[in-house]
Amino acid sequence: MRERSVMAPIETLITSGTVVTADSMFDATVGIDDGTIVGVGDERALPTADRRIDVGGNLVLPGVVDPHTHLAGYNSIDSYETGTAAAAVGGVTSLLTFAWQGWDDGEWDEDGTLWGAVERHKDGAFPLIDCGQHPVITQETPEVLDEFPALVEAGVTSFKMFTTDDIRLSNGFIGEVFDRLAELGAVGMVHTEDYSVCTERTKAVKSDPSGESTSAYPQSRPDYAEAMAAGAAARLAVAADAKYYGVHTTSKAAADAIASVRTDGSNVRAETCTHYTALDDSTYGRLGNRAIMAPPLRTQDDINALFDRFRDGTLSVVSTDHVALPTSRKEGGPWWESAFGVNSLQTSLPVFHDEAVNRRGLSYPSLVRLMCTTPARTFGLPSKGRIEPGADADLVVFDPGETYTINAAQNHSNADYSIYDGREVTGRVKKTFVRGTLVADSGEIVAEPGHGQFLSRVVPDWDQ
């Protein structure tokens, strides 16, 4: 039993639930005061409270920490208000999103800075849950490197890069970035696909008589292009002794490439996304351009390999890569005219729970590690992702036995479709608390926009 030393009345008790941590499950009451967890254990040993919430035997999880989302950017129509509403209904209590260097209200500015991108994200934003930013480096200039120390000092401790598409960086410059990040202890994240391979393969697929079918899309961005770039980026980080985080790993080939560089497991880490664990490439024949994202969905063999890599630690986080788009930007033309991205902040926890726990036997503590505790530790959020005294009271009441059908008409995101529309899942978010405040209840938002705070992160310790 862990509790406060002073038994003064507190604000809230969450009772009659099964608490799930990264290590275990146990029946307990959670005491909350002033936004913080102050006790976990037998209710009789906790102080009295102004409010007592009986959760009827459901699970009490730490709030999901999603480190890979797109809000208020050039590739998303979600504002902080709409995106975090979707997140709250889906059990996400903290998220990190991308602040694009040089992107300002619909235009690219060649003189844009990383600082400017971070400040633009905060201006006029009213999130419902807690949020932070990863600046995205889009320009190869010495000035970019000079911005790192002040940003890290201000609590912005991770930075994103691309190896493909119009905002790609050269391997030489990525190596320079890792050298500078290593001095600061910050994290370098890389979207890894080989640009030249994807460019030539896209030309070849488009010229083939059957290439216009969306089912041909994965051939334009093959798994080996992902593996080539993933291995190169990880090696650049290892050479610099910098922290490397590979985003949205989709394939056995890419996961193997990361594993081959991850010799001691300390500074090379990677994630996958919910859709890469729950959907395979046959989805393109069913949903067409709605399912276009980059990298593409892969095969069932790749999905099995991703679950194997959860077990050996090569993959340690499940994120969403949430991108809110209207159907009009997805459909109405060939696949190469479709915008990249799918939205899933509202559905990620139920879908991954159903696929991983119900169908594949993943344990609940493993789910908490992948979606809550490890992403918080990876990105310098020590008060998030855990149910312990002193942690933020970010909690999700989750009914593991409720079966329902996902309906895109219930989106809180500005996106007007879902790749999971019509999918039956078992496991539903009932209540979401952010720092002790109930923000979502049975699919409805019950708090005001602006409850969320912008997060100042610490330099993460990856030795723990």
List of residues 6+ apart from 237 with CB closer than 8 A: 178, 188, 243, 244, 267, 268
List of residues 6+ apart from 57 with CB closer than 8 A: 16, 17, 18
The three-state secondary structure class of 28 is strand
Could you tell me the CA-to-CA distances from 262 to 165, 222, 377, 462 in Å, in that order?
26, 23, 18, 13
Residue 249 and residue 315 in contact, taking contact as beta carbons nearer than 8 Å: yes
Q: 63-378 domain in CATH 3.20.20.140?
A: yes
Could you tell me the CA-to-CA distances from 162 to 141, 235, 246 in Å, in that order?
15, 15, 11
Q: What is the pLDDT of residue 248?
A: 98
CA-wise closest residue to 249 among 346, 317, 348: 317
**Which residue is listed with tokens 């990040």?**
181
Spatial separation of the C-alpha atoms in residues 94 and 436, rounded to whole Å: 13
Identify the H or E element spanning 237. Answer: helix 223-240
Peptide bond into 222 cis (omega under 30): no
Count of other CB atoms within 10 angstroms of residue 206: 14
Q: What is the pLDDT of residue 463?
A: 86
Q: What is the pLDDT of residue 464?
A: 65
Count of other CB atoms within 10 angstroms of residue 400: 18
Residue 90 and residue 442 in contact, taking contact as beta carbons nearer than 8 Å: no
Spatial separation of the C-alpha atoms in residues 117 and 187, rounded to whole Å: 18
Residue 71 and residue 37 in contact, taking contact as beta carbons nearer than 8 Å: no
Count of other CB atoms within 10 angstroms of residue 461: 10
Spatial separation of the C-alpha atoms in residues 15 and 57, rounded to whole Å: 9
Question: Residue 453: is it exposed, middle or buried by C-beta count within 10 angstroms (0-12/13-18/19+)?
Answer: middle
Q: What is the pLDDT of residue 236?
A: 97
Spatial separation of the C-alpha atoms in residues 163 and 149, rounded to whole Å: 24
Q: What is the pLDDT of residue 4?
A: 43
CA-wise closest residue to 37 among 393, 381, 401: 393
Spatial separation of the C-alpha atoms in residues 338 and 331, rounded to whole Å: 6
Q: What is the pLDDT of residue 6?
A: 54
CA-wise closest residue to 63 among 463, 455, 436: 436
List of residues 6+ apart from 51 with CB closer than 8 A: 11, 12, 13
Q: What is the pLDDT of residue 3?
A: 44
Query: HSE-up of 427 (CA within 13 Å, CB side)?
Result: 23
Instruction: Calculate Rg over the CA atoms of the chain.
Output: 21
Average pLDDT by consecutive 10-residue portion of the chain (464 residues)? Answer: 61 98 98 98 96 98 99 94 98 98 85 95 95 97 97 98 96 98 98 98 97 97 98 97 98 97 86 98 98 98 98 97 97 96 98 98 98 98 98 98 98 98 98 98 98 98 85
Q: What is the pLDDT of residue 104?
A: 80
Q: What is the pLDDT of residue 263?
A: 80
pTM: 0.97
What is the token pair recorded at 175? 């190596």
Could you tell me the CA-to-CA distances from 454 to 67, 80, 151, 184 in Å, in that order?
14, 11, 14, 22
Within 89-174, strands assigned E span 92-100, 103-104, 107-108, 130-136, 158-162
Residue 269 and residue 245 in contact, taking contact as beta carbons nearer than 8 Å: yes
